[in-house]
Amino acid sequence: MAIKEGEALPSVDLTEMTDEGPKPVSLSELTKGKRVVLFAVPGAFTPTCSAKHLPGFIEQAGAIRGKGVDEIVCVSVNDAFVMGAWGKQAGASGKVRMLADGNGDFARALGLQMDGRKFGMGERSQRYALVAKDGKVEKLYVEPGPGLTVSSAESVLGGL
């Protein structure tokens, strides 16, 4: 069952690539006392994710923060090395924090995993965005199917 608005985010650690190597990031600590926009993509470097989803949040980062958001986070079921490289290539530094859900634990805990085996991708995350305030889901935007409509940076910005 998928998480719903008003529910608490699961207490899961994600991983971030730093200059010192991969480091765990507590989702509970990340969202404590903050308003965070978190969006998830099926895979780093994939077409829609690289051409539209991540770039949209990078471009709109200032406007989103201007609406009272403390942090913007991109999550994917990839390893921290891939997420770090993708963020670097996309120019995300200082705008969007790139966090890895390497084993898909966060996607499963949210009930927002998807089976990407027919594409050779294994279990991944559905495409979605959410706004969390102090660890609780304030708004949830889950894509109804392939493509990018409801979870785009523009949609999230319009709902803030």
Catalytic positions, written as ranges: 49
For residues 107 and 99, what is the distance between their CA atoms, to the nearest angstrom?
12
User: HSE (CB half, 13 Å, CA atoms) of 122?
Assistant: 8
For residues 122 and 115, what is the distance between their CA atoms, to the nearest angstrom?
6
- Two structure tokens written together for 34: 């903050």
Residue type (1 letter), 136 = K
For residues 92 and 57, what is the distance between their CA atoms, to the nearest angstrom?
9
- Two structure tokens written together for 24: 């765990």
Residue 136 sits at φ, ψ, to 5 deg, of -115, 145
